[in-house]
Structure 1
Amino acid sequence: MTVRQKFPGAEQEFAGKRVLVTGGTKGTGEAIVQRLSASGALVVTTARSATGALSPKLFVRADMNTLAGAEQVAAAVMDRFGGVDIIVHSVGGSKSPGGGFAALTEEIWQDELGLNLLAAVRLDRLLVPNMIASGSGAIVHISSIQRRLPLHESTTAYAAAKAALSAYSKALSKELGPKGIRVNTVAPGWINTTASEAMVKRLADHSGSDEETARQDIMKALGGIPIGRPAWPQEVAELVAFLVSDRASAIHGAEYVIDGGTIPTV
């Protein structure tokens, strides 16, 4: 089904918009790249390596876990497009082993904080001043329900970094709203991606069980998913597309959870 069939008139909704999506070569980031590109956006994406069926206007190979990587991406965006209208910080993830807090080394903590928090902070610092000068823009940070529902066995560092990202996003929204720039956060639950399957494999290897047992252990730790399944990356992409569109022009400083009902509280 095409974008037009789903949303009449959506094919040119982002025509001429300059968009940066970090971590856009697989999973949720790739789905966001494809969704915005299909609606006419000029999409720049970045990752450590190019994989998947990409259709961005520009790809920048860079390590977003470093300041040099962020500077490389910002320079490419400014050189090619002279700035951006929309930023979607999708890059993130966790490589933490099972075993709880004691298994988290200094290197793991630095890696999790760098990828899931500082990558967004650095790029915002480099690109948002241009948005301020133009008086408009939209930013979405991809956080996680783990900031509210951490799994102590496997996501302590990741959850802490995402909690910091959500707090940073709220602070940024207070500063940028009066300057014409909207900032929102999307907090997915379990998304059906290669990264989530990699986490299942790590937990199975750590516990000596099989992957299906590890998958069920995650479901139990989450308290179950009322709709009975993880979300698909394309479903997250639709939410992001709405939030960065003019249809959401009054939505600012908010966090939208997309978790199939996993979080059990209001």
Structure 2
Amino acid sequence: MSDQQDNVKDLEGKTALVTGGTKGIGKAIAARLLAAGATVIVTARNQPDEQNNPYHFIAADLSQTDDVEKVAAHINQNFGGVDILINNMGANTFPGGGFNTLTDDHWYKALEINLLSSVRLDRALLPAMLEKKSGVIVHISSTSGQFPIWESTMAYSAAKSALNSYSKSLADEAGPQGVRVVTVSPGLNKTEAMSSFLTELAKQAGITFEEMTQKLFDRVGGVPLGRMAEPAETAELVYFLASPKASYISGANYFIDGGNFPVVK
């Protein structure tokens, strides 16, 4: 990101919520929106590592209905709602090995974390946007929603695919009332979560981390740009979609995957 880009304050006066905003892609998104002048609220289950960070932090597990209600009540009371909602929370913490390794509890948790957390937060915060006839919701999905890997992402991919469909439906409903809804589907990102995921897969397969990383690149068909994305690169796209620059964009799903996806979308 250039200094010139960083100095554009086109989100001044806007309030943004970034879920899962203390690490990885979420942390990068929060930083980018803050740089653009927004007041930024972040949620996560645990306190951020930095002691004096510039965000408003709310501790919450958004896979739990009570915590969603707590977050929404706090935001509505203290900020009067949000102008930008980034539903970034999501995780693939389920065992690899395919269909027979996944229990009902794994499936329920996959949906709670990767779909229903967004649905519930939208339900709580969207009405105020509709009343103002303005606002932006960005759902952070994954290329896994369209390109599942059965041996490692089956439940996660199914939940993200459901999120993609839901996001498009919500865009069609909310658009005529002035609220834009878009989806961003990152590919492989260089995050702590990705490192932990690859470490666990390598352990299960009895191979090294480096071998597992190459195996994943091969499994997804290769990445033409030859590397994982930096979280800041994904955050730049999210910022653009949340900004006035993208005022005519709604209902679309943007892939940011280094050219990995094998078809024209």
TM-score of the two chains, using structure 1 as the length reference? 0.96
Percent pairwise identity: 48
Q: Which runs of 4+ in 1 moved over 4 A?
A: none
- Is the counterpart of residue 23 in structure 1 residue 15 in structure 2? no
Q: Give the length in aligned residue pairs.
A: 263
Give secondary structure in 1 for the equivalent of 2:224. Answer: coil
Q: 1:179 aligns with which of 177, 180, 202?
A: 177
**In 2: Cα distance, 1:57 partner to 1:203 partner:** 34
User: What code does the residue aligned with 1:19 have?
Assistant: A
User: What code does the residue aligned with 1:207 have?
Assistant: A
- Check whether the contact 2:7–2:36 (CA below 8 A) recurs between aligned residues: no
**In 2: Cα distance, 1:96 partner to 1:249 partner:** 37
Deviation at 1:114, TM superposition (A): 0.6
Aligned to 2:227: 229
Structure 2 residue runs of 5 or longer lacking an equivalent are none
**In 2: Cα distance, 1:96 partner to 1:243 partner:** 30
- Is the counterpart of residue 44 in structure 1 residue 41 in structure 2? yes
Give secondary structure in 1 for the equivalent of 2:152. Answer: coil
Aligned to 1:80: 78
- Check whether the contact 1:45–1:56 (CA below 8 A) recurs between aligned residues: no
- Check whether the contact 1:97–1:202 (CA below 8 A) recurs between aligned residues: no
More divergent stretch after superposition (199-208 vs 125-134):
199-208
**In 2: Cα distance, 1:163 partner to 1:189 partner:** 14
- Is the counterpart of residue 240 in structure 1 residue 241 in structure 2? no
Alignment map for 1:39-188 (pairs within 5 Å)? 39-53=36-50, 55-188=53-186
Structure 1 residues 56 and 134: alpha-carbon distance in aligned structure 2, compared to 1, 3 A threshold: farther
Aligned to 2:11: 14
**In 2: Cα distance, 1:43 partner to 1:8 partner:** 16
Query: What per-residue deviation string (whole Å, max 9, x for no partner) do you get for residues 172-218 of structure 1?
Result: 00000000000000000001101111110111111111111111111
More divergent stretch after superposition (48-57 vs 123-132):
48-57
Give secondary structure in 1 for the equivalent of 2:150. Answer: coil
TM-score of the two chains, using structure 2 as the length reference? 0.96
- Check whether the contact 2:7–2:35 (CA below 8 A) recurs between aligned residues: no
